[in-house]
A and B are shown apart, each in its own frame.
Chain A
């Protein structure tokens, strides 16, 4: 199977080793491993190194230090100094409270909805499912902006929200800002993630397991509680932990809803530290986030590991008779409809409405105007901010967003095939295991921390790449690296679908590795790749926390431009931008799905 000829003078054992090393999947795995080391391990090491050496900026705090020398100063400052409480402990506590709250609510909502959609006779299930996942496609902070529109009180920035304008009563602080709105709004975003995970598990659950329970005389409830639930428990648990780890790294919502009342979580503290040039301290917080995340994911693996025997989840999934909701059918349908209205329709409606308001604090119809969409700059309105569609900045950012998302989607899809190939063809070898594990690492790192890592990494030229800091390319590299776990997973899944015989049949026919890859592997994995592309594309379009630390005015994307507006208190243009982003994402999703629908399955029936 060797692809490279070896001089015949080589000794026999050497030939054998050479043949092993030059197997395509070993070569691919080697290249992938080098890439992973470069994109994931190096930055992590640099981050750690930064936290344990004196930084030039530290001169402001301590005299007579030599930058570059070893010190535990930053760790001590974060963990054990007079500012530890505000720097670490309070934000940590806030992070845990909000993330756990979010995970519980999101999971309850998502699992219930998943069960209703997958396993019951609820009418309009397809439509419900397609609406239910919309929040997953939008930036997680969209709902928090809408929340502000409705629940804002006078305390911050003078203007009032819709509720106060409507009722005249002052909205209490706890409902306007802080943990309660953070938990509610992020739950309304992350439930879609839980919904996707749990409904996937429910769909792949072999219905025969349930049916055999029924055959033995168990009632529907007994089947649900004794068979279905225990079988999907691993999926629910991991959905919980994955939600937790993402909620912990989310940045936009806590910034919008927490900062105005000085309610800080780790991600916002990290951001503040780094923006005030306390990079090393920020990195320590980043490592704390990574550590928490690693612990939770480790727990996840432990819990699922214990329950390995429930591996039946991977069954093909057979249609089973849906649970009859009987009299509850329509009441439940109405509840679900109301929920989707609150989670999907209402936020977009409020954002749209506010984007049309000329004056911040009047919800009256005669205040409506298209100024923040198409108006020319007017010094009398909002300090002269022009309508987003006339502002060249918007178009630059939109271009950046789309270019970023397309590039990242393409690069990760291609990397995904190679990773999948290396992992699947090398099944059982340590090389394949290492590639799989390392590709998973970025998953453990909360976005904001991962973005922080790249500041340090690409400040100077590193290896083959020039100093990327401040360029568009650093956004591409960081997004590619952060999405590696997804691409490797979808690549692996796609590759597993392609039986090894299909490649072997070509091998026996004399096809070279390149031919096999080009004519067999890529065509057969392409439908999985389009799905992977779509996922990465949307993730990159709506990404804020990963890149917020890395953008400069020229490399701004729609999300970071929006963040800047929000930070400066310009609500209407921010809302208009959010709406624009939503429209772009949904349109792209529709186009890609359409394109994929036309392409998929050309011969992929069996």
Chain B
């Protein structure tokens, strides 16, 4: 299938005074799987609907392939139906009065495809989502997960150049969601269509995307590969939003020669920085924890121990300071044990306290 790029330039969409999407600029490569990630109300759906043509932005431009589909400056706004994209809604939006077959051929009839061609496409698309044999069912005669697959099949049958999906898995239970993630990723791999995927589930974003755009209050905070977003969050918001358990954010003063004073102990960094008020971000899995003193380790008390099978989370305290540490497997540490925490300078990120921006990363 041919793939296409999407370029969004300075896009703004206001509802009354609120800018739900605020001056967003994104370049999406052909065949990319980009996830819009962010807390509820940050404007993900609005941005997606602007691309789909269901919402008319106030400013900016959108190009799909070489085609200018929206431009406030030139007064262009192509109707949704002419943008050749497929949309999967959070609640699937299957037409309840039509069978699966009718649901899937609705748009094809509008394109005036021949019956044989439609049958062929329905058959192929149903096979792709492993729902062969369901063509004559009505939506209410299927489970949520099956309806979800049909919604995908309906989009596939349409053969759009771009897939848009708004939290398509959020109505499924945890187990099914895991399975569908794998399926969706596979589907994207096979079809290769450029995909914009909206979710507020970071695991979904990290596991499925080639790129993640993290949004907050209508503004894209960072757009990067899942790896970079996870390991080098561009600011404190992204650092805090991504990762489970949450990143440890420690306020302190950089002294200018590669260490940060946290009050009652110091953390050594991998490189020198300018002096000033900073925040150190340490991922829970990047801190090592031991039951015996080690050189350079800081003494804490195990405040709470939370084993979860494959890994365990330990909340450690030292005076007012509370840190979360994650270890593989079941830990021998028990509550109230004395523990020694070791920071790995290469994994720490440093943020400017006032601007919240990343100021130093390992090289």
Contacts and interface: CB of A to CB of B under 8 A. Distances in A.
B170 to A, nearest CB: 14
Given A511-B106, A605-B96, A605-B141, 7 more contacts: A2-B79, A12-B75, A504-B54, A504-B80, A508-B80, A508-B85, A509-B106
A11 B75 CA distance: 8
Contact of A511 (B52, B81, B86): B81
| Residue of B54, B83, B89, B96 ringed by the most chain A CB atoms within 10 A | B96
Nearest to B79: A1
Interface in B64-121: 72-75, 77, 79-83, 85-87, 89, 91, 93, 95-98, 106-107, 110-111
Contacts of A63: none
Interface string A157-191: 00000000000000000000000000000000000
A475 to B, nearest CB: 35
Given A606-B139, A606-B140, A508 B96 contact: no
Interface string A360-380: 000000000000000000000
A505 B97 contact: no
A519 interface: yes
A120 B297 CA distance: 69
B237 interface: no
A595 B85 CA distance: 40
B232 interface: no
B80 A499 contact: no
Nearest to A3: B79
A392 interface: no
B138 interface: yes
A522 to B, nearest CB: 10
Interface of B: 52-54, 56, 72-75, 77, 79-83, 85-87, 89, 91, 93, 95-98, 106-107, 110-111, 138-141, 154, 158
Nearest to B74: A12
A603 B96 contact: yes
B54 A508 contact: yes
Contacts of A523: 97
B140 A605 contact: yes
A500 B77 CA distance: 20
B93 A501 contact: yes
| Residue of B53, B97, B139, B154 ringed by the most chain A CB atoms within 10 A | B97
A511 B107 contact: yes
A1 B81 CA distance: 9
A15 interface: yes
A226 B101 CA distance: 52
A11 to B, nearest CB: 8
A603 B97 contact: yes
A592 interface: no
B77 A19 contact: yes
A302 interface: no
A519 B106 CA distance: 9
Contacts of A519: 106
Contacts of A606: 96, 139-140
A33 interface: no
B82 A510 contact: yes
B303 to A, nearest CB: 34
Interface in A1-16: 1-2, 10-12, 15-16
A393 B95 CA distance: 49
Interface in A494-516: 499, 501-502, 504-512, 515
A509 B54 contact: no
Given A12-B75, A499-B91, A509-B107, A1 B98 contact: no
A602 interface: yes
Contacts of B52: 504, 508
Contacts of A423: none
A510 B97 contact: no
A511 B54 CA distance: 13
A505 B75 contact: no
Contact of B80 (A1, A11, A12, A19): A1
Given A504-B80, A511-B106, A524 B54 contact: no
Nearest to A515: B110
B86 A508 contact: yes
Contacts of B95: 502, 505-506, 520, 524, 603
Contacts of A508: 52-54, 80-81, 83, 85-87, 107
A604 interface: yes
B75 A15 contact: yes
A89 to B, nearest CB: 51
A27 to B, nearest CB: 15
A508 B164 CA distance: 11
Nearest to A11: B75
B56 A506 contact: no
| Residue of A506, A508, A524 ringed by the most chain B CB atoms within 10 A | A508
A502 B91 CA distance: 10
A1 B75 CA distance: 13
A602 B97 CA distance: 6
Given A509-B158, A511-B106, A605-B140, A1 B97 contact: no
25 contacts: A1-B53, A1-B56, A12-B73, A12-B74, A12-B75, A16-B72, A16-B75, A499-B93, A501-B93, A504-B93, A505-B93, A505-B154, A507-B54, A509-B81, A509-B106, A510-B107, A510-B110, A519-B106, A523-B97, A524-B96, A603-B95, A603-B96, A603-B97, A603-B138, A603-B139
Nearest to B83: A508
A501 B73 contact: no
B80 A507 contact: yes
A509 B98 CA distance: 15
Contacts of B140: 603-606
Contact of A509 (B75, B89, B96, B110): B110
A604 B96 CA distance: 6
Contacts of B110: 509-512, 515
| Residue of B54, B75, B98, B140 ringed by the most chain A CB atoms within 10 A | B75
B216 to A, nearest CB: 25
A499 B110 CA distance: 22
Contacts of B53: 1, 507-508
B93 A510 contact: no
Contacts of A499: 91, 93
Contacts of A19: 56, 77
A502 B94 CA distance: 7
A502 B93 CA distance: 5
Contacts of B158: 509
Contacts of B85: 508
Contacts of B73: 12
Contacts of B87: 504-505, 508
A47 to B, nearest CB: 40
A604 B97 CA distance: 6
- The 5 A-B pairs of least Cβ separation, nearest first, read A605-B140, A509-B107, A510-B81, A501-B93, A15-B75
Contacts of A511: 81, 106-107, 110
Contacts of A604: 96-97, 140
Nearest to A527: B97
Contacts of B111: 510
Interface in A553-606: 602-606
Nearest to B92: A501
B91 A501 contact: yes
Contacts of B91: 499, 501
Contacts of A502: 93, 95
